[in-house]
Structure formats: C-alpha cells, structure tokens
Amino acid sequence: MRYVQLLVFLFFVQTGAAQTGTWNIINTKLDLTEKWNLFGELQLRSLRFYDDFHYYEIKGGASYAISKVSSISVGFGIFDTYSPGGNFKTPMANDEWRSWIQFSIMQYEKRLKLEHRYRAEQRWTSNGFRNRFRYRLNTALPLNNKKIEPGTYYLTASNEIFFTNLAPYFERNRLFVGGGYEFSHLFTIQAGYLHQFDYKINDETGKNFLQLSFLFEMQWKKKPGEKVPGGMD
C-alpha cells in the first residue's frame, strides 16, 4: 500500500507540471494453448491532464510462442490523430492503418526480467505509405516476491527507439518508468511516467505523459513460464 500511495503522490506532483498529458491503456490477452494467444488493445491519449484528447488506437492480433523465452506476433489496427487545441478537434491530422510483425526474446537475470522486442511496421497514413522499425528493451523487477505472481508489486522501465528506411532515419525515442501490482492471474494494473521525444526537421519536441494501464489475461490453458506484464504498444 505504501508503494501505491507513493505512485499516487508522484502522479499528483507530475500533474502540476505544464504540458503533461495522459496515456490510457486497456490491454487484453486470451491464451488459447501453451503456444497460441490472441491480444487486443485500446488506447486514448490527451495532451493535457485528462483534457485535449487528440489520439486513439484500436489494435489486435495473434502470437505464437516459439519457446519459453521467444515468440513471434502479427497485428493490425487503426491509429487516428486529431488537431491539438480541443477534444478530438477536427480536422484530423492523421488517419492511419497499420500492420506489423514482431519478434520478442525474454531474458532472466535472477529477479530481473528483461524483454527484447523487435518490430517492423507497415503504415498506411494520410501522407502515404511508410515503413517503420522499432526496438524496445523492457525490464520488470518484482519487489515482494521472487516472481511476478498474484499479490506482487513490481517496478518496470523501458526504452524504445523508432527509425525508418528514409532520411533522417531516426524518428522517435520513448522512455517509460513506473510500477504495478498483479491482483490475480486475470488482472494487473500498471502506472508510470512516459517521456516521448520526436525528431522533426527544424522542430524537435518532447512530450510527457502519465500512463495508466489495465491488463487482463484470460487463460484456457495455463502457460509455462513467468508472466511479465506490459502493454503491446
């Protein structure tokens, strides 16, 4: 409870800062077998604290576990961005459909869990077709148990880089730090701070968000290995 109270306190401190938005996630996963699962995710983002909503995405797909520590996934979704200055203010800045293929590797260093994620995206945007490539290193550290299981508090941090096949190649860097609590095998809540740096020619900008995630996992058959919570974005 002290850890949860600390997170809430940090949230209120952060919301006093200018230009802090919100990033809200509902993530679901259905484990069909030990190898196969289906996933889906909804996101809603704002440029100010629960105001000036400008972005949403709806996506889903399927994953196959190659081994206990590696998997391959495919996905598809819609990603819409609106003009700033209001709640879904028109005109729409970008109407995008996106598909991707992804490869993930888990690494366990005693209590510390690491995930290496490689993704290739195909993006059909309002400005034409684009490719994008991403690498994310995600970490999770359980605090009161050796593994992340029901009743476990954990810390998490990740960093992801985005680049394209066209100059200037580097597109974005996304840093996240936070923590969570696994209530049960079905439900986990996670919260933290996210900083996103976007590179644009003659216009370099950074953006801060408070991220809140609700993670649901339903199992038809229990999968081997330890679950490491996290969104798919």
Q: pLDDT (tens digit, 9 = 90+) per residue, 179-209?
A: 999 999 899 999 999 999 988 755 445 689 9
Q: CATH number of the domain that 210 lies in?
A: 2.40.160
Strand stretches in the chain, DSSP E: 20-31, 36-48, 51-65, 70-83, 89-109, 112-125, 128-142, 152-163, 170-182, 187-198, 205-219
Whether 225 is covered by a domain: the verdict is: no
Tokens in use for 161?
């880089």
Whether 11 is covered by a domain: the verdict is: yes
Give CA–CA dist 151/187, Å, rounded. Answer: 11
Whether 231 is covered by a domain: the verdict is: no
Q: What is the pLDDT of residue 205?
A: 55
Whether 42 is covered by a domain: the verdict is: yes
Structural domain tally of the chain?
1
Distance of CA 161 to the CA centre of its chain: 13
What is the domain range of residue 86?
Answer: 2-219
Spatial contact of 68 and 84, defined as CB atoms under 8 Å apart: no
Tokens in use for 126?
């309002």
Whether 136 is covered by a domain: the verdict is: yes
Q: What is the DSSP string of 15-74?
A: HTSTTEEEEEEEEEEEE-SSSEEEEEEEEEEEEETTEEEEEEEEEEEEEEESSSSEEEEE
Q: What is the pLDDT of residue 204?
A: 47
- pLDDT band of 168, cuts 50, 70, 90: confident
Whether 47 is covered by a domain: the verdict is: yes
Q: What is the pLDDT of residue 127?
A: 86
Whether 224 is covered by a domain: the verdict is: no
pTM (whole model) above 0.75: yes
Whether 226 is covered by a domain: the verdict is: no
